[in-house]
Amino acid sequence: MLFELNYKSAKPVYLQVVDQVRAAVASGAARAGDMLPSIRPLAEELRVNRNTIAKAYTELESQGVIQTLAGKGCFITGQASPLRKDARLKLVTEDIDDAVIAAHHLQVDKAEFVRLAADRFEAFAKRRARALQD
């Protein structure tokens, strides 16, 4: 799994790391049981503060995306989110709202939006399936 940081993004650096791990899991680039690099070598490689990577890993752990095994490292859990369904739906709704607002200002109507969302679901499913074959 490769990381790329963008300092021209308004997104905090630790969140960029969090989102890239989440994206890697969603697209099949990282699978349950895969080990993440340890904090020090990743921090050195990306030339970021080690605290930034530590904060990203803590966040991923609290979301249940990764798990730290003492003395072994951090692993992708592949587990279902521990949150209740209504909480999970609420979190996704917040992000959809942002997308709906963007769609409104870019004159993308509901039908197009829904079709696009379905396409993207398919795209990620295909990438995961392809990753499994490799």
Partner 1 sequence: MSTQTPAIEVTDLVRRYGRTDAVNGLSLRVQPGRCYGFFGRNGAGKTTTIKCLLDLLRPTSGSVKVFGLDPARHEVEVKTRLSYVPDQVGFYPWMTVRDTLEYAASFRSHWNRDTERGLLDQFRLPLGHKTNHLSKGQRTQLALIAAICPEPDLLVLDEPTSGLDPIVRREFIQTVIGAYQDGAPGTRTVFVSTHLISEFEGLIDDFTIIDNGTEVLTLDADTARARYQKIYVRLPSVPHGLAIEGARLLHQRGRELQFVVNGNADDVRTRLAVHSPETIETESLTLEEIFVATLTPAGAAA
Q: Where along the sequence are the contacts to partner 1 (CB under 8 A)? A: 5, 7-14, 39-41, 43-44, 46-52, 54
Nearest to partner 1 of 10, 132 (CB atom): 10
Q: What's the closest the beta carbon of residue 9 comes to partner 1, in angstroms?
A: 6
Nearest to partner 1 of 50, 90 (CB atom): 50
- Give the amino acid at 102: A
Nearest to partner 1 of 5, 29 (CB atom): 5
Is there a contact between 76 and 25 (Cβ–Cβ < 8 Å)? Answer: yes
Q: What's the closest the beta carbon of residue 65 comes to partner 1, in angstroms?
A: 21
Tokens of 92: 């996704």
Q: What's the closest the beta carbon of residue 108 comes to partner 1, in angstroms?
A: 16
Which are the contacts of 127, defined by CB distance < 8 A and separation ≥ 6? 27, 28, 29
Q: What's the closest the beta carbon of residue 97 comes to partner 1, in angstroms?
A: 15
**How many CA atoms, within 13 angstroms, populate the side-chain half-sphere of residue 100?**
9
Bridge partners (DSSP) listed for residue 4? none
Nearest to partner 1 of 39, 103 (CB atom): 39
What is the bridge-based pairing of β-strands 66-69 and 35-36? unpaired
